[in-house]
Structure 1
């Protein structure tokens, strides 16, 4: 990877720093309360054998009533809206991986009720070399079919079929899982953790940490061929968390953590070209997430959330309007 990522950038201090978790922050997700945006929730994983999914308000305070504890190394988390249940009702959902139990969990939001009968086991075909341990997860809700899928990655895996796409089929108890495909190439250099899905444009992105950002179609019937791999030359070492900012007409950005550099790289959502990098004050960032929705007076322009160094055990909030291309980069 090239040295172009080594420039020193001015720090953009966070607007809010959350309260600390107990063990080790890893990945955030943002649930937008569409009826009262100022009561939106940031969920964050506390990655430990005595782990938890923390809920934070927009001031960074822990919402204990929405925080869920006693999970075995919860790793990555994502949310989706208006997912159909068996009785034709819809609910917002949260999915996260529970690595040490080799499963994914599904809960309704904001009432935090389980919809998975205790969890869905994944990657049970092999017990070797940590291939059964789930890490990354993202949700795809198909605009074409209305079906909802979990796309799950693992601690280690084969050179082909590193990712599993699991349909969440409505059932009497919430959902039942249906594996619909195994896809995704892997360099074998490090691991693939971060996964993000662009529902509108129909793409899956994942960070092959030592090799590049991989891109695939999200619709299973579009095939497993890799569309692109990009960005490696803009990272110092590990390519980590991915967030996708979405605006009308396909506009927006793919925002990716340049972990060892302590910065974030911004790529064009339409053609995936590199645009610029920013220093947001975090160190060793794993996961990040973004929403372009207005969250009331606190974050009227949208919100970017990033995990801070695991020793600090917190997350940083930035108003999205502050994450603009640096003037120096335009010269």
Structure 2
């Protein structure tokens, strides 16, 4: 994806791109193929806007004077809902069986009321052959208003829908008069109900005229009326960026105002250009390792096509439908468009919802990094999350995600917790963190009530410390801290509390070839697992005399595990699992430590009903199998969220009940 900041820069940057992507012989009106149009529906004072296919034989249209109405393939009106409407999109509702009814979710803008109206359009088929043969006056169609959405500080100019292939939930993208895009969840398929949850807002191109979504590929297209068409991701957790698909002349083949766009079944695009009476078709073609948008133009003689959509029936030609403002009416035109074969590639990447989240850190930017879970041995439900802020220090949260304490320690990066040490008869737990301000190890004391305080600072001599993890040796009963440097060097320090003070000793060094970060030590097997960001995961003995022989555990393949490899943590349950954050595709990989096999892969997605977004671009994570009570009775996973949206805020940490992850593992 290409981030664009200035329109003038866009034109220069993409001129070469588009000339390479689109065949130059299709660059003029003369090359456009003529199409013969037929009137589908005409009426006085129609003032229509858009029409969308409903199944294979019906069309749903709207009008400023006739509201929302349904036509059969002969152009006969079957249903009408009064109002002053513009903009239109539909998606099927799959929560009912085909035998009982067909349903669609409809969205359209009621201009006089200044709001988006969401409808349920239902069709009850005739059940018997006798019913179908007889001329019946019974109306099998109905429309019901589900919800109205009104924005208090702006006006909705256009709308398009996205239906998640995984969940069947439906989202609306609203283009507003303030050049903003609002993404809202408007239908929960699991509960078969209309909802209104704001997911995110982001800037729209100036003069945005229309939008359309490719549900299969998860791509949003927005037309900038006098400039071109832009492509975005529908995934709110992905980095906000856009890519040019087509631009106006002389940098592309578009001419005049871009009034409307429509996505065909194969992901190709139809573009309405009323100033030159054209419909242009953009289809992505693969040539070797490069993909190109190939353009074909169709001429609609004497027609000013203000909108565009298409009916796609298997085995038949793609039929366009458009509204002509100069010859008021909806018209159809057959084309020779050949849809490319599409196939869905099944993915084993599953999803779990965030259970809760912490309050954000105080500063924007790349601040939050790594969490650790302190288990309160006496009152597990009062356990804590210790989390680092690279611009400030340490935050302490309770299991509801509320901040209960903070310590300004400097740029601490990674953190880990160890248990049961003693100084002068006082028993407590401690946390260790890599401190990039001082290139040191910061130690914190945690008392039985969960109060955290500064304990000691251990100098490392490393020029640029980074990742860190703790280790308790079940063999010699000693505590250790592993810390690494951006160069790949690891140091192992023994931490001694027996002489009435904190003492440290460097006991070992070893190295990986490039930048590491996350690591985790397993006391039971005396094994250290460490991540080399671009390479993968290694294992090595965690004992001070363990040498420097690294064993490959799992390499980055950008199919299962994507670079960067960031956080690592171990779940100690009936089975032992290693969890890794696969930052490159915003996911998490769970390995069995018994046989090193992948047992599940998942993303952390939003739970809009709780007002909690998902997690993406995760750095550090931590997991525990301890029974923390309530929804965390089987344990808890905490991850850093690199893009905190819904609403956009500084970074924070997401909590996920382990029972939900265990269900994914058990379902494999």
Which of the five TM-score ranges fits, normalised by the shorter chain?
0.7 to 0.9
Matched, 1:214 2:538: yes
Task: Measure, in 1, the Cα distance between the counterparts of 2:520 and 2:346.
Answer: 26
SS in 2 for 1:55: strand
Asked if 1:308 corresponds to 2:641, the answer is yes
The Cα shift of 1:320 comes to 0.5
Change (3 A) 1:105 1:171: farther
Shift of the 327–304 alpha-carbon distance from structure 1 to 2, 3 Å rule, reads: closer
CA gap of 1:306–1:99, structure 2 versus 1, over 3 A, is same
How far 1:7 sits from its partner (Å)? Answer: 4.0
1:112 maps onto 2:452 in alignment: yes
Contact 2:422 2:498 in 1 (8 A): no
The change in CA–CA distance for 1:186 and 1:27 in structure 2 (over 3 A counts) is same
Does structure 2 conserve the Cα–Cα contact (< 8 Å) formed by 1:153 and 1:163? yes
Does residue 94 of the first structure (1) align with residue 431 of the second (2)? yes
- 1:75–1:96: 8 Å Cα contact kept in structure 2? yes
Say whether 1:53 aligns with 2:394.
yes
User: Which residue of the partner structure matches residue 63 of structure 1?
Assistant: 404
Task: Determine the C-alpha separation between the residues in 2 that align with 1:221 and 1:186.
Answer: 18
User: How many corresponding residue pairs?
Assistant: 302
Task: Provide Cα deviations, 1:57-89, integer angstroms capped at 9, x if missing partner.
Answer: 11111103xx212x221100000111243x354
Deviations 1:235-263 (A, max 9, x none): 23211110100125xx3110000102111
Q: Secondary structure at the match of 1:220?
A: coil
Whole-angstrom CA distance in 2 between matches of 1:265 and 1:123: 34
Contact 2:357 2:654 in 1 (8 A): yes
Matched, 1:247 2:588: no
Conserved 8 A contact 1:213-1:230: yes
Query: Aligned match of 2:359 in 13, 19, 36?
Result: 19
* Contact 1:276–1:329, Cα closer than 8 Å, also in 2: no
CA RMSD of aligned residues (A): 2.2
Whole-angstrom CA distance in 2 between matches of 1:89 and 1:145: 21
- The answer on 1:317 being equivalent to 2:633 is no
**Alpha-carbon displacement from aligned partner over 1:141-182 (angstroms, at most 9, x marks no partner):** 11111110011111224xxxx110000122656311100000
Indicate conservation of the 8 Å contact 1:25/1:310, yes or no.
Answer: no
Corresponding position of 2:460: 122
Report if the CA contact (8 A) 1:77-1:138 is conserved. Answer: yes
1:62 and 1:327 map into 2 onto residues whose CA distance is 32
Q: CA deviation at 1:114?
A: 2.8
Number of the residue aligned with 2:487: 156
Larger CA deviation: 12-21 vs 172-181: 172-181
> 1:134 maps to which residue?
465
| 1:223 Cα offset (Å) | 2.5
- Cα distance, 1:53 vs structure 2: 0.7
- Counterpart contact for 1:215–1:226, Cα < 8 Å: yes
Q: Is the 8 Å Cα contact of residues 350 and 601 (structure 2) preserved in structure 1?
A: no
In structure 1, how many angstroms separate the alpha carbons of the residues matched to 2:662 and 2:523?
24
Q: Which residue of 1 aligns with 2:505?
A: 178
Higher mean Cα deviation, 97-106 or 224-233?
224-233
Which of 552, 557, 562 is equivalent to 1:236? 562
Which residue does 2:629 correspond to in 1? 296
Alpha carbons 1:139, 1:151 under 8 Å: kept: yes
Cα pair distance change 1:38/1:326, threshold 3 Å: closer
In 2 relative to 1, CA 111–174 (structure 1 residues): closer, same or farther, beyond 3 Å?
Answer: farther
Q: Cα distance 1:6–1:279, how it changes in 2: closer, same or farther (>3 A)?
A: farther
Structure 1 partner of 2:590:
266
Question: Following the alignment from structure 1 to structure 2, what is the Cα–Cα distance between the partners of residues 122 and 252?
Answer: 32
Paired position in structure 1 for 2:373: 30
Paired residue for 1:187, among 502, 509, 513? Answer: 513
Deviation of the 1:298 alpha carbon: 4.1
Separation (CA, whole Å) in 1 of partners of 2:346 and 2:432: 35
Query: What's the secondary structure of 2:381's corresponding residue?
Result: helix
CA distance in 1, matches of 2:539, 2:570: 13
SS of alignment partner, residue 595 of structure 2: coil
Q: Aligned partners of 1:174 and 1:307: how far apart in 2?
A: 33
Q: Which protein is bigger by CA-based radius of gyration?
A: 2
Distance in 2 between the 1:108 and 1:213 partners?
A: 31
Residue aligning to 1:128 = none
Partner of 2:155: none
1:202 offset after TM fit, Å?
A: 0.9
Does structure 2 conserve the Cα–Cα contact (< 8 Å) formed by 1:108 and 1:114? yes
Alignment pair present for 1:146 and 2:477:
yes
Task: Provide closer, same or farther for how the CA distance between residues 326 and 38 of structure 1 changes in structure 2, counting only shifts above 3 A.
Answer: closer
Distance 1:163 1:253, change over 3 A: same
Give the 3 Å change call, closer, same or farther, for CA 173–112 of structure 1 in structure 2: farther
8 A Cα contact 1:238 1:258, kept in partner: yes
Contact 2:632–2:659 (CA<8 Å) still a contact in 1? no
The 8 Å contact of residues 100 and 133 in structure 1, kept in 2 or not, is answered as: no
**Cα pair 1:262 1:284 within 8 Å, conserved:** yes
Paired with 2:580 and 2:346, the residues of 1 have a C-alpha distance of 16
